Amino acid sequence: MILRAALLAGGLATAAAAEDRRTGYEMMSPELRAMQDDEMSNPGMLWVAEGAALWEAPEGPAGRSCAGCHGEAAQSMAGVAARYPAWDEASGAPVDLSGRIALCRTRHQGAEALEHESRPLLALAAYVARQSDGRPIAPDPDPRLDPWRETGRVLFTARMGQLNLACANCHDDHAGGRLGAAPIPEAHPTGYPQYRLQWEEMGGLHRRFGNCLTGIRAKPFAAGSPDYVALELYLMSRAAGLPLEAPAVRP
């Protein structure tokens, strides 16, 4: 309940002020920051544009579009991405933003399910997230999420894989240092989905989790799995108050 109390009091930013934390954006070179900030140079905007088209496209037997229910995304989706993952009443579990979009398609449009990390789902998530660009991350304080956040904390601190390393060993103990030529961030998920130069495409946070687990020689979970959603919940709580970047660019 301590975590929930901190969230209700204004987020974990009360314990660690936003100015005391560094995002991946702040650790990038001036050139990469300029690329992200310029809509004409940010490659992630291609996915945002694709998502805007999908938002208006009729889907399913009834030919309903996202816009048919939600209207203009600039109004209806403003601040939404900053609150996810959130509780889903029907499934009795939290879902991340991509999971919510996928559920809307199947439940309300009768459309074919989209897999996590598929290009259409990333495009829709990027478009929805764009409507919250610059807004502070504000985790859902629903008490039913507390056990899931605790699971995420345990996963973050648990040693795994053949290298016997935990997320916290890099992102807490050595944040700000370097792993080879790459800077080690504090693991604040302020900009997902994001365009990574290494990937040469857009990818979600669960893909990044998988990369890290592979790096320590542990078996990744499936994208969209409850473990990844729990870990995302915990990390978003740590990032409370930091501005959302949509779409972010990273090396």
Which residues are marked as active site? Answer: 212
Instruction: Answer yes or no: is 144 a known binding residue.
Output: no
Six-digit token pair at 83? 């609150």
Instruction: Answer yes or no: is 104 a known binding residue.
Output: yes
Instruction: Answer yes or no: is 69 a known binding residue.
Output: yes
Instruction: Answer yes or no: is 188 a known binding residue.
Output: no
Instruction: Answer yes or no: is 108 a known binding residue.
Output: no
Instruction: Answer yes or no: is 130 a known binding residue.
Output: no
Instruction: Answer yes or no: is 170 a known binding residue.
Output: yes
Q: Residues annotated as binding site for substrate?
A: 208
Q: Residues annotated as binding site?
A: 66, 69-70, 104, 167, 170-171, 208, 212
Q: Residues annotated as binding site for heme c?
A: 66, 69-70, 104, 167, 170-171, 212
